[in-house]
Amino acid sequence: MINKRTGLYIHIPFCMKKCDYCDFLSFPATEQVRNQYVKQLITELQVRSAGLKDCLIDTVFLGGGTPSVLEGKQIAEIMNTVQKYFSVDKEPEITMEMNPGTVNYEKLCSYKASGINRVSFGVQSMDNMELKLLGRIHSVEEFQENYQAARKAGFSNINIDLMSALPNQTLKDVQKNVMKAVMLAPEHFSCYGLIIEESTPFYQKYEQQELRRQAGEERPEDALPTEQLEREMYQWIGAFLAEQGYIQYEISNYAKRGMECKHNLKYWERKEYLGVGLGAASFLGDIRSSNVRSIEDYLQTDIRVEAELLTEEKEVIDEASAMAEFMFLGLRKILGISKTEFYESFGQDYMQVYGTVHEKMVKQGLLEEKGDRVYLSKQGIDVSNYVMGEFL
């Protein structure tokens, strides 16, 4: 008997080339390793499906890495396994991340035939110099060709990823990027500011420059934008996309009405999802878990009897942690959280639990309240990490 809706995340860790800013679990691999991985991934799907007999899969997300490194036949094998072993909704949202330069019309048609109905293009910039700076393998022209090929293949739900706050980037540069992307009329935008992660080449290159800038020393020519400039970029993007008919529904995400990413909403609303593949995370019941991150361990583990052999981390979420998650995940949404849903989830009044923090944030102008909803103010969005930290 089906009694709950669940998401399915499938991690494809392979990419053509590791980008200089990337901190995701991804790497180039030989054809042999990719073939072995797909075979093991299919086995994991088969085994883990036994634990979700009462679940209806209504969203599937193939992320990476670059899932489009795989051939159409491999994606078809994965999706056929999902359809065969899981109960899948009649009209599921099935997203696949793709990098420009790794697809063509024929490949896109095969993905569409396998059930993929939402494309997420990791474009990052509409400027070739910026793409080169980021270490991307594609050009703007290649992306535009891939985008038109996706439309021709029948995709009517396309997301474009864009980055801002790049080294030496100006507000005018960001405006050109976004305006050029909007001309393609995608259904969805994900717009992120660049974050310099410690384990990346970008960290080694720019961290020392940023420290010197903060110390008041001369600003390097290719340094990162100031916090003020980054804020101006973010605010301009939101205002411009609103003018173009895109509704901001999460801190970094904008969509045409009704085209929000249903799978990602599961994360922000603490809905259940199963993650399969290298390093993939799951949230089922009150348990968060994640798979092993070593490709050797993943490929060599015999999971035909027990998929839990792949689990590397497992945590039972207690009530206090669940409440905190409800707040800092829910506040990512522009609509914020519902006090009624808080009570229904935990049997406690929101103000009794978080009244002190709530009043403090409202007094600082960072949190607003309207009826049942509590949400970040425009100023609160600018310092969202600080606000969310208060609820921890």
Residue 213 has pLDDT above 80, yes or no: no
The predicted structure's pLDDT at residue 220: 59
Most confident of 197-201, 265-269, 305-309: 265-269
104-123: average pLDDT: 98
Task: Please report the pLDDT score of residue 17 as a whole number.
Answer: 79
User: Strand pairing partners for 316?
Assistant: 287
The residues that bridge with 284 in the sheet, in sequence order, are: 287
| Long-range pairs of 370-378 with CB within 8 A, sequence gap ≥ 24 | 372/338, 372/339, 372/340, 373/335, 373/336, 373/337, 373/338, 373/339, 374/331, 374/336, 374/337, 374/339, 374/350, 375/331, 375/333, 375/334, 375/335, 375/336, 375/337, 376/331, 376/334, 376/336, 378/235
Residue 21: band (very low, low, confident or very high) from pLDDT cuts 50, 70, 90:
confident
Q: What is the pLDDT at residue 99?
A: 95
In contact, 297 and 40? CB cutoff 8 Å? no
Say if residue 222's pLDDT is above 60. no
CA torsion through residues 69, 72, 74, 77, sign: positive
User: Mean pLDDT across the stretch 48-70?
Assistant: 95
Q: In what order do the strands lie in the sheet with 367-370?
A: 337-338, 373-376, 367-370
275-305: per-residue pLDDT in tens?
A: 999 999 999 999 999 999 999 999 999 988 7
What domains are defined for the chain? 4-268 (3.20.20.70), 319-390 (1.10.10)
CA–centroid distance for 68 within its chain: 16
Do residues 358 and 374 touch, judged by C-beta distance below 8 A? yes
User: Quick check: 197 pLDDT over 80?
Assistant: no
Task: State residue 103's pLDDT score.
Answer: 97
pLDDT at 112 over 70: yes
**pLDDT over threshold 70, residue 36:** yes
Residue 246 clears pLDDT 90, i.e. is over it: yes
Indicate if the pLDDT at residue 19 is higher than 90: no
Average of per-residue pLDDT values in the chain: 93
Cis, bond preceding 65 (omega within 30 deg of 0):
yes
